[in-house]
């Protein structure tokens, strides 16, 4: 088997791998929202507290949990991913960048990565393993 043949076969799997990226990223993203709203699967606030639903963090938690679930199943993927990319850009700019330039030093690696993953998904779409694909979108 030639290298060209192997690389072509691997490239042919890119739509499915985009789906895997979407599903795994959404599952992890949902955990951040669930932790904020329900202290599950782990509390991220001191004393096991949860955020107030009417707060900025509460709105973020709802976006992460509900938006993450929609992206996980691949429903309304492009607009939801675009919205979540914006949420992560705001999170990075508002909470992490003031602590310093480098994401690894300011605690913003996740926010920056999610921003660009969701931006990519908003342009590329959900892939074949999605409700959107079944709906012909």
> Residue 117 — very low, low, confident or very high, per pLDDT cuts 50/70/90?
very high
Spatial distance between the Cα atoms of 120 and 66, rounded to a whole number of angstroms: 19
Distances (CA, A) of 14 to 18, 39, 126: 6, 35, 12
- Taking the complete model, does pTM exceed 0.85, yes or no? yes
**pLDDT tens column, 24-36:** 999 999 999 999 9
* Mean pLDDT score, 127-136: 95
**pLDDT tens column, 61-108:** 999 999 999 999 999 999 999 999 999 999 999 999 999 999 999 999
């Amino acid at each position: 088997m030639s290298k060209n043949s192997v690389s072509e076969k691997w490239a042919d799997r890119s739509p499915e791998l985009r789906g895997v990226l979407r599903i795994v990223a959404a599952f992890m993203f949902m955990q951040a929202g669930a932790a904020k709203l329900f202290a599950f699967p782990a509390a991220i606030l001191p004393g096991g507290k949860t955020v107030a639903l009417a707060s900025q963090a509460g709105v973020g938690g709802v976006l992460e949990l509900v938006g993450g679930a929609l992206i996980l199943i691949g429903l309304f993927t492009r607009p939801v991913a675009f919205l979540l990319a914006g949420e992560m850009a705001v999170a990075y700019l508002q909470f992490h960048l003031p602590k310093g330039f480098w994401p690894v030093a300011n605690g913003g690696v996740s926010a920056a990565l999610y921003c660009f993953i969701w931006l990519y998904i908003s342009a590329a779409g959900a892939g074949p393993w999605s409700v959107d694909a079944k709906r012909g979108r």
